[in-house]
Chains A and B, each alone.
Chain A
Amino acid sequence: MGKKVLSYRSENCTGCHLCELVCSSAKEGRFIPSHSRIRIVSNHLEGWSRPVVCLQCQDPMCMKICSVGAIYRTETSQGYPIVSVDQNKCIGCHQCVVACPFGAIEYVKEIKIIKCDLCNGSPLCVQFCFYDCLEFIELSDEEFQGRAKSIKAVTIKACREISKTEPYWRRVNISAEVSKINQKE
């Protein structure tokens, strides 16, 4: 069985933010987009919006930097790779927030670190994306390795931005490029 990954076509994103709303409703039981695991960045004047969500990297920067080992790689019950956070170990130091070149991990006061966990294998944001932007696609091993390589390349490029720009602007700068690697023709 292949591995499934969350992918998006940013050119189809309309900026409706339904993914943020449904994500927060699933994780927090209410509509609170500030606690959403997926984020939309937009420029309404230029007319574009793009999703930002954890890529579940093979070699995650957030995991590497975590000094207490609270971030680890694991799999959903279907065997899809995810990067997960142990809230008991987390000391709330924000290092991972700074380290993620994609701005896909975030700190909120009430729960400490939040990030996408693929809703245990059936992401709700995909179900509630009515514009064919978010997709949950199955990759062959070969494709999966190719994706990991592309992510690595983008990560290296994006790392130069770390400490120079805030996570929000890193999201804006890198999300279009991330969209390209994720596309499966």
Chain B
Amino acid sequence: MLYGYKGKLLHIDLGSETYKTINIPSRILKKYIGGRGLGAKFYWDLIPPEVDPLGERNVFMVLTGPVSGTMAPGAGKHLIITKSPASGGWLESYSSGRVASEIKFAGYDGLIITRKAKYPINLIINNDKVEFLDATQLWGKGAFEAETYFREHFNPECGTLTIGPAGENLIPFACVGSDYFRKAGRGGAGAVMGSKNLKSIIIKGSGGIECANIDGLKNLILKYRKSFKQRFTTPMTVSITNAAGMIPTRNFSKGQFNDAIGNIDREAVFNLKIADRACYACPSGCANMTQVREGIFKDLRLEGPEYETLAMLGANLEVNYLPAVMKANYLCDDLGMDTISAGGIIGFVMECYERGIISKEQTKGLELNFGNYMAVIKLLELIAHREGFGAFCAQGVREMAKSLGQNTEVFAIQSKGLEFPAYDPRAGWGSTITYSVTPRGACHRRAWPPAVEIFGGVYPFTTEGKAKIVKNLMNDRCILHILILCDMLGPRMRLGMDDCAEVLNFVVGSDYSGKMLNDTTEIVETLIRRINIREGFSIEDDVLPIRILEESLPDGPGAGKIIGEENFILMRAEYYECRGWDNKGVPTQELIQKYEYDTEPKICLD
């Protein structure tokens, strides 16, 4: 018997308002372990390629890992798997809060939500009972108001997944919030919830989780206790990436924003900090509760802002006034939008506006010059409600560039329809691989090459060895996403494959080794690649915008250096080779047979 797991999924059919549990075959649990692994298996079996991401047949999954709900360091994370409205393919999005542990305490390894409700509803999951509550009253309200309603009327200490107006209006970068400020942000999972007429999912469980070696797990935590004390907080990244010439500025036209220093960096954020906050079961909480002291945004209080928000809604828009970034952050959280994509989109339209491609008539009077933070704040609200010029921006950068034409695709900074996060690949060439080949689109969480290119002594401006380095970094992240452990805390504790195996064995009582886990990551990555190929993606989609490949940065260590298409293609080809895929990035038949995808039991909902 495997400890840690519940071995069951809760399948909720919104169309008929019924629910039932489904057993997960133990062979599948053994092979895919949990989190991203199981998610890939479920996606492969349950979401056929012809399904529209915002259509009734898309499946919305909330999954946990084997260690969720235990004390394993950084285990408070859940994972949303669905078909992405932004890319039209594989989407995985992680967030934290009480959701994962409450799902486990309620007795499940995950929720699988199918079809569409006839009218707006809330799902209340209380152990083995599921209620379908009318959400008409909450529809149109902010994510915070909806969450507060349930904390006051159902249970103050529950797990919540809520969307804001952006999700209801099917914005392709709408996010799903939990514990107010935690967001499964990227790729538009919120729009999928909105398309199912699902405002919120509330979960409370009162059961427990058995572990194989509970004392082993506790001793392991105590062994790492020193590393918990040095709390890493993401705002400190601002000064690091600025020095490395990597912080996106003016829609990725520069790599340094010197105004950031002292204004929107760690010191500035810590100056407004009022408390430390932590995710569920985290021994090294890195969230900052901040409050604005003076000015027009006085008394605004939120958890954050984190690095990506500071860079994308700050530096990328040349906004150097921290309270304005905080206000934009708060609005995005409440409206239910991804701050990274929002920053990328506004950066793009600002560049178009300054170049005269978009006129003041088109923006309906909004003066979208870089640095105009009041316009940013106004535009965010318009986007979430698809009003005025916001309706145009709500399409995302890729679609906007298509409809504008005039060579705007050169500076439409996206890959697979997902806007870039805040590390310019020209200042560290490893990121060209992660941004192009990551299944969900441009993403910085599947691997973080700056870890070696800034801190690890690897020369940033070369193609040499990058593919292998990135692949290994990806596998290290993949295992954290399979278990699911925090990918901020894990690397800082230097949790390698062997350590992950130790944690996993303490919980489930199996005999996994680091090597076995590494093999699992290969199986999972290749399966996700197959999923995207089945969705119609090819090597033509593993590309980067022309600005990134053919223009050089004007400042910072990367100044004057051009990546060039040839170098990029070389790195990409090496990456495919490292994975054992063919030169078009397609997994070979040998590999498919070796990993036994087609001979294993299928997950079936009926």
Report which A residues bind B (CB closer than 8 A). Answer: 11-12, 14-18, 21-22, 24-25, 28-35, 40-42, 44-49, 127-128, 130-131, 168, 172
Q: Does B338 contact A (CB under 8 A)?
A: no
In the complex, given contacts A11-B275, A18-B71, A33-B105, what are 8 additional A-B residue pairs having Cβ atoms less than 8 angstroms apart? A17-B281, A18-B283, A28-B208, A30-B214, A32-B207, A47-B303, A48-B275, A128-B222
Is B168 among interface residues, defined by CB-CB distance under 8 A? no
9 contacts between A and B (CB under 8 A): A14-B278, A16-B279, A21-B71, A22-B71, A22-B218, A25-B218, A31-B209, A31-B211, A168-B156
Q: Is B64 an interface residue (CB 8 A)?
A: no
Quote the shortest CB–CB distance from A32 to chain B (angstroms): 3
- Contact of A44 with B285 in the complex, beta carbons under 8 Å: no
Q: Which residues of A contact B221 (CB under 8 A)?
A: 128
Which chain A residues border B287 with CB–CB below 8 Å? 14
- B328 CB-CB contact with A under 8 Å: no
Chain A interface main SS type:
mixed
- Whether A18 touches B281, Cβ cut-off 8 Å, given contacts A30-B210, A31-B69, A47-B301, is yes
Q: Does B268 contact A (CB under 8 A)?
A: no
Is the C-beta of B320 less than 8 angstroms from some C-beta in chain A? no
Scan B52-69; emit 1 where CB is below 8 A from any A CB, else 0: 000000000000000001
Please indicate the chain A residues that have their CB under 8 angstroms from the CB of B69 in the complex.
31
Measured between beta carbons, the chain A residues less than 8 angstroms from B156 are: 41-42, 168, 172
Contact status B180-A42, CB under 8 Å: no
Query: Which residues does B use to contact A, with CB under 8 Å?
Result: 69-71, 101, 105, 144, 147-148, 156-157, 179-181, 205-211, 214, 218, 221-222, 225, 228-229, 274-285, 287, 289, 301, 303
> A47 to B208, Cβ gap below 8 A?
no
- Check B277 against A14 for contact (C-beta < 8 Å): yes
Closest 4 interchain pairs by CB?
Answer: A32-B208, A47-B289, A14-B278, A16-B278
Q: Which residues of B contact A12 (CB under 8 A)?
A: 276
Quick one: given A32-B209, A41-B156, are A131 and B277 in contact (CB under 8 Å)?
A: no
Please give the distance in Å from A169's CB to the nearest CB on chain B. Answer: 8
If the complex has contacts A16-B281, A18-B283, are A24 and B289 also in contact, measured as CB distance less than 8 A? no
A30 touches B211 (CB 8 A): yes
B71 touches A31 (CB 8 A): yes
Contact present for B303 and A44 (CB under 8 Å) = yes
Query: Chain B's nearest CB lies how many Å from the CB of A36?
Result: 10
- In the assembled complex, which residues on chain B have CB atoms less than 8 Å from the CB atom of A34? 105, 205-208
Q: Considering the chains assembled together, what is the distance between the CA atoms of A50 and B147 in angstroms?
A: 20
* A-side contacts of B209, CB under 8 Å: 30-32
- Determine if A21 and B281 form an interchain contact, defined as CB atoms under 8 angstroms apart: yes
Chain A residues positioned under 8 Å from B277 (CB to CB): 14-15, 44, 47, 49
